Amino acid sequence: MYCSDYHTHSRLSPDSDTPLEQMAQAAVDAGLDELCITDHCDLLDVHGTPVHHYDWPPAVAQYREVVPQFAPKLTLKLGLELGMAHLDPEAAKAIVSRPEVDFVLGSIHNLRPEKGGIDFYYVPYPDADACHAALDDYFTSMAVLAGTPYYDVLAHIIYPLRYMDVPVSLERYYDRIRAILRTAVENGRGMEVNTYRGRTIAEWEPILALYRECGGEILTVGSDAHVPSGVGKGIREALELMAHCGFRYVCTYDKHKPVFHKL
């Protein structure tokens, strides 16, 4: 089984202080074959203020410094988690066009600007109605993002649920999720199974069923680790679930091209 973690963050993300070298060592210690660093670039910051660029030189420099330290025991790829790309197509196009980049996760982290634009982490969820209002907004944005060319794989489709203490089922959103996934499949894009550092595995089974129904085959798996202790968490369990759901491969990426590894 080829074990890859394709959603990780280093000190170049605003919510991490960890050097890439430590994340790579954690991947080796966890027995991973491949690690992709996907630091944050959100075109809305956590408070809803627009952002129009990403500072690539430090990311490229960090990557180039670390890669030779771990070859050949770990394949290390340079990626990005690009949030809210649909809000500024010109900026998104410029950001993802760097020739060194292997992989881009497409994320929705914020409410729509007309709803305040804050990160879902800061949205209050006092009851089910508030949860559903946030999810309505979330999937509205994701439906637009799915039709853009500024990502390789849709990230953590169930993202807002991690912040909701009120039990909420996504069943009422299955038609919308199915349409989003169909758009991604038709455009040659994939879907991520995000383990949230080992905390979300079973929650992905119905989403995987919808993705398979849409003809999806491109799947990556990521821990969303921001510190070394989270690297690789839940990866093997996610791969087992993917196989259980009828998928045959997990993907890694090389210059935006999926590479298929048998489960």
> Per residue in 161-180, pLDDT tens?
999 999 999 999 999 999 99
Would you call 68 exposed, middle or buried from its count of C-beta atoms within 10 A (0-12, 13-18, 19+)?
Answer: exposed
The full set of domains in the chain, from first to last, is: 4-262 (3.20.20.140)
In whole numbers, what is the pLDDT of the chain averaged over residues? 97
Q: What is the pTM of this model?
A: 0.97
Q: Which DSSP letter does residue 44 get?
A: B
Q: Where are the beta strands (DSSP E) in the chain?
A: 4-8, 34-42, 75-83, 103-107, 153-154, 190-194, 219-222, 249-254, 257-262
pLDDT digits (tens, 9 = 90+) for 213-254: 999 999 999 999 999 999 999 999 999 999 999 999 999 999
pLDDT digits (tens, 9 = 90+) for 109-147: 999 999 999 999 999 999 999 999 999 999 999 999 999
